[in-house]
Structure 1
């Protein structure tokens, strides 16, 4: 979707892989239709309502694991141009010029089944407390406008035309189970790498096709379009396309090649244009017969007395050859430009001013003053979420409570960081107990936080322990889904100690520091004391030995195991050795077994003694 001709492939070299904290405490606008299409395509007929599943887990991950503030945008009524393009997808190969498209809401309304999926996801997001906006037309257009005007820090979509609408940072892919989960594209990198700005990108979309005009200009691909638009400055490219569409630019090229009295070359210029004869042996100007007598000036420079034979792929650098090559390259470039202009001129009604106005923001929404979007995040209604997912997904309440807990703990820590309140409880049931340890996950450190259940072990905690009662649908998904499509939130650990229930969750270290600074200080002091004791134990020497004991990780020399010569025990003479007659100690530590009657084990022992 977006710009045609594999436009994403041209941008791929300039993508960045951002780490886990890239979106922490940042706002991100999400094209909800992109999520729905992505999961429906990947898991169709393999899961119950995959769009609800993905929306639930990925929202919790973005909010808790990645620390972002997600904002969701849904599509409005598509433009008549996009409605026509959608029909073209279903009637490829049919002449669309004579196809009559009726005007009215019945034509521009989207697929009824897809709209049902959107409504269900919007209902879930509103229960989770996420803000949801509806665009006047395209969701990626509103996302890009929010990004360009500074309301959000990034856009989450796979539509490449978000750059044409003015987006500055686009997140195309999310790989949750990796060290650098975000695949990001920054407009600054694209401008520096490809030399293309926003007007250039609009021109490329007009040439290769887009969501509103699928065909583009026949015969022009993405590589040709990239090379062509770079020839013009940003402020001039669209005017040039208008001239080409009218044939004016092509006529100006043809007029520039027409002869005139002022451009008639003189005889001296004609003589310069004529290429001088070259030697077939060395390839330099002159005749072979003359070069056999005296080496040419080009070969003499290299110190040869005679002309050398020209190598494979030889190119003469004399003025006449250089000028001839330049003239041919210039003529080839003119023919290439003339060919593109001819193709553009053959395109009817090119360029479409309505598409240009749409991309350049003339139809964008007014987000100033009283019309500024309300971007507020609320705490989720847990019981309503349980009822909603129980009805649509048939999930057990304990399963939902366990999966939503990371989101609740993140909200609780943010509230504690902004307003320190004594006696506050997580979900009105758990209190912050302690920090167990530092946990490294995908190369990033987290605090493993222990939450203590207040009161007896009844109610939601008892039901939370019953998370093993997962439906057959969930077990099937856990066995067959890929990790990048699963997007499940981190599952809290549960344990019981002295009759008290505890939950363990992974939390961001900076967030825990801001919420409970005293707890973090105590944890760091205890950790430092443990490390100091460990260092002290390692520095203590073995009793009776002044030397520091050797580390077990050091491999001793092989000579400590296998001696190079026979050593007799003190007080033992060669005559007393029972094997003395069978083994002869030679010089340089060599041994020779004399008797083959000895067993294999004895011979091996004698060999290494």
Structure 2
């Protein structure tokens, strides 16, 4: 979707790999339609209403795990050009001749199909129950996302539609993977400009040449590499005007073209014959072969008493005459290429399409004014209404919905405590007890926070962890790596300690420190004491080991080498009349040192 010709592959080398902390405390505009379109490929198993499930879990992960403030944007009424391109895509996929394609009437637009519109309405209702801001675009959602980013209302856009760059986006995140430690692709317009020399109007020109969502075909015979080479020959202010000239059948001046007679090459005049001095067929330098037969020319490095050196294969002379001819050939080649490209563009009717250019350059894609700005605010989730909504649409148990929402509710609680530390309860019945440990998940560190539950609500807990298992989880770090294709959040984790029941959540370390600095300090102090105690125990054990080794060393220091090796052998006294076969062998096995390797013991037994 977006610019054709594998446009993302062109931008791929300039993507920045960003981690999950990149979005923390940043406002991001999310193209909701992309999420709905992706649900069929993201979820391989058959589930009920996958668009609601994917939106539910992605929103929780984006808000709690990544720490972002998402602003969701939905599509408005598509333009006639988008409708025409959609019909053309359907004709092409069905094998129908594009000559039979109907022409959309001026000013007539139709809404999207009813099934997709129903999915959008349900997702918007879900997001509003979450308390998330949802904006509706006049046309394309990625256009409003780009405008919000360009005007500074959000820090980045999350969309897989490359048209966002053409609408003015400065930072585009192609996709996010909540359950993966792999970094996501983040594209900055400044990096694209520095690497390719392309600005917004350059990208618009490329889309006009190779095709886009509003004109699938583009210019016949022009691919992405040709379009890139063409637009790089002009600066941003003149590129669209040069395309208009090419569309009218004119050949504009390119950078480096001859603009005056003073800049021209003297020998390039067709009326004058091209004079090229004679070259030696043996060494390839100026002069005749006869003149170079006895004495070498000034270009060869041999002594004057010898002849010239034979020219190697593929030799090219770099004298003034040859250099001038080479420049004339290169210039002629460039002129032929440009003429060919201009002729292809001139064959296209209505090129460039001014309506598409106007649409990409438009900065009024939402229902708000530049003075007032968009209405963006985040509210608290309506938990009970969300439970009822998902019980109706997804047939989820209320307890399951509340469990899955726990990471989001704890994040909201910690943010509120960091701003206004008042004594309130999470979910109305939990309070922060302490920090249990540090957890490493998907390559990032989190604090595992213990939430103490009221004693009267203990009966609602369905799962418990035995105390023996909970005691084993007091390590400093814990590595948990998993990949859930459904992008489902972690389920409820319950910790039982000395008869008290605790909920466990993974929280951002900076957020926990801002909300409960005294609990973090206490955890770090206890951790330091444990490490100090562990170091003392290890040092005492090492001292005891060193003392034993020194005593053994002192007892054997007086032995010479013969006595030492003799002392390591065990003398077996065999009484007269005893069998010295199997009994002796068994005795050897018993006294053989367990510190010796298996191969050494085998040699001792069978030698």
Q: Using structure 2 for the length normalisation, give the TM-score.
A: 0.83
**Change in CA separation of 1:492 and 1:303 when aligned onto 2, cut-off 3 Å:** farther
Find the aligned partners of 1:572 and 1:391 in 2 and give their Cα distance. Answer: 82
Do the aligned partners of 1:541 and 1:549 also contact (CA within 8 Å) in 2?
Answer: no
Q: Which one of 187, 190, 196 corresponds to residue 188 of structure 1?
A: 190
* C-alpha deviation, 1:301, in angstroms: 6.5
Match of 1:137 in 2: 139
Match of 2:61 in 1: 61
Aligned pairs for 1:523-534 within 5 A: 523-534=523-534
**Change in CA separation of 1:484 and 1:189 when aligned onto 2, cut-off 3 Å:** farther
Match of 2:11 in 1: 11
Match of 2:461 in 1: 462
Q: Which one of 165, 175, 178 corresponds to residue 176 of structure 1?
A: 178
Aligned pairs for 1:367-446 within 5 A: 367-368=368-369, 371-422=372-423, 424-446=424-446
What is the CA deviation profile of residues 150-206 of structure 1, one whole-angstrom value per residue up to 9, with x for unaligned ones?
110000111111011110000002122333432110000000000001111111111
* C-alpha deviation, 1:237, in angstroms: 0.7
Say if 2:85 is the partner of 1:85. yes
Do the aligned partners of 1:84 and 1:101 also contact (CA within 8 Å) in 2?
Answer: yes
Q: Which deviates more from structure 2 when the two are superposed, residues 178-187 or residues 566-575?
A: 566-575
Aligned pairs for 1:577-596 within 5 A: none
What is the CA deviation profile of residues 135-163 of structure 1, one whole-angstrom value per residue up to 9, with x for unaligned ones?
01110000000001111000011111101
Aligned pairs for 1:295-306 within 5 A: 295-300=296-301, 305-306=306-307
Match of 1:592 in 2: none
Say if 2:123 is the partner of 1:152. no
* C-alpha deviation, 1:37, in angstroms: 0.5
- Which SS does the other structure have where 1:87 is aligned? helix
Match of 1:246 in 2: 248
**Change in CA separation of 1:271 and 1:449 when aligned onto 2, cut-off 3 Å:** same
Find the aligned partners of 1:575 and 1:397 in 2 and give their Cα distance. Answer: 80
Do the aligned partners of 2:192 and 2:198 also contact (CA within 8 Å) in 1?
Answer: yes
What is the CA deviation profile of residues 544-580 of structure 1, one whole-angstrom value per residue up to 9, with x for unaligned ones?
7876989xxxxxxxxxxxx99992239999999x9xx
* C-alpha deviation, 1:271, in angstroms: 8.5
Match of 2:557 in 1: none
* C-alpha deviation, 1:448, in angstroms: 0.8
Q: Which deviates more from structure 2 when the two are superposed, residues 371-380 or residues 182-191?
A: 371-380
Match of 1:567 in 2: 565
Match of 1:118 in 2: 120
* C-alpha deviation, 1:401, in angstroms: 1.7
Match of 1:479 in 2: none
Q: How well do the aligned residues superpose, as a CA RMSD in angstroms?
A: 3.6
Match of 1:236 in 2: 238
Aligned pairs for 1:249-398 within 5 A: 249=251, 273-300=274-301, 305-361=306-362, 363-365=364-366, 367-368=368-369, 371-398=372-399
Do the aligned partners of 2:84 and 2:103 also contact (CA within 8 Å) in 1?
Answer: no
Find the aligned partners of 1:246 and 1:450 in 2 and give their Cα distance. Answer: 71
**Change in CA separation of 1:73 and 1:266 when aligned onto 2, cut-off 3 Å:** closer
Match of 1:559 in 2: none
What is the CA deviation profile of residues 322-364 of structure 1, one whole-angstrom value per residue up to 9, with x for unaligned ones?
2111111110101111111111111111111111111112543
Find the aligned partners of 1:71 and 1:527 in 2 and give their Cα distance. Answer: 40
* C-alpha deviation, 1:321, in angstroms: 1.7
Find the aligned partners of 2:265 and 2:192 in 1 and give their Cα distance. Answer: 45
**Change in CA separation of 1:572 and 1:149 when aligned onto 2, cut-off 3 Å:** closer
Match of 1:101 in 2: 104
Find the aligned partners of 2:431 and 2:240 in 1 and give their Cα distance. Answer: 62
Match of 2:48 in 1: 48
Match of 2:28 in 1: 28
Gap runs ≥5 in structure 2:
466-481, 551-560, 577-598
- Which SS does the other structure have where 2:461 is aligned? helix
* C-alpha deviation, 1:385, in angstroms: 1.7
Do the aligned partners of 2:493 and 2:503 also contact (CA within 8 Å) in 1?
Answer: yes
Match of 1:605 in 2: 604
Find the aligned partners of 1:515 and 1:259 in 2 and give their Cα distance. Answer: 71
Q: Which deviates more from structure 2 when the two are superposed, residues 538-547 or residues 115-124?
A: 538-547
**Change in CA separation of 1:566 and 1:278 when aligned onto 2, cut-off 3 Å:** farther
* C-alpha deviation, 1:281, in angstroms: 2.7
- Between the two proteins, the alignment pairs up a number of residues equal to 553
- Which SS does the other structure have where 2:175 is aligned? strand
Q: Using structure 1 for the length normalisation, give the TM-score.
A: 0.82
Do the aligned partners of 1:542 and 1:549 also contact (CA within 8 Å) in 2?
Answer: no
Do the aligned partners of 1:175 and 1:484 also contact (CA within 8 Å) in 2?
Answer: no
Do the aligned partners of 1:456 and 1:500 also contact (CA within 8 Å) in 2?
Answer: no
- Which SS does the other structure have where 1:350 is aligned? coil
* C-alpha deviation, 1:492, in angstroms: 3.5
* C-alpha deviation, 1:304, in angstroms: 9.5
Match of 1:472 in 2: none
- Which SS does the other structure have where 2:174 is aligned? strand
- Which SS does the other structure have where 2:565 is aligned? coil
* C-alpha deviation, 1:215, in angstroms: 1.2
* C-alpha deviation, 1:465, in angstroms: 6.6
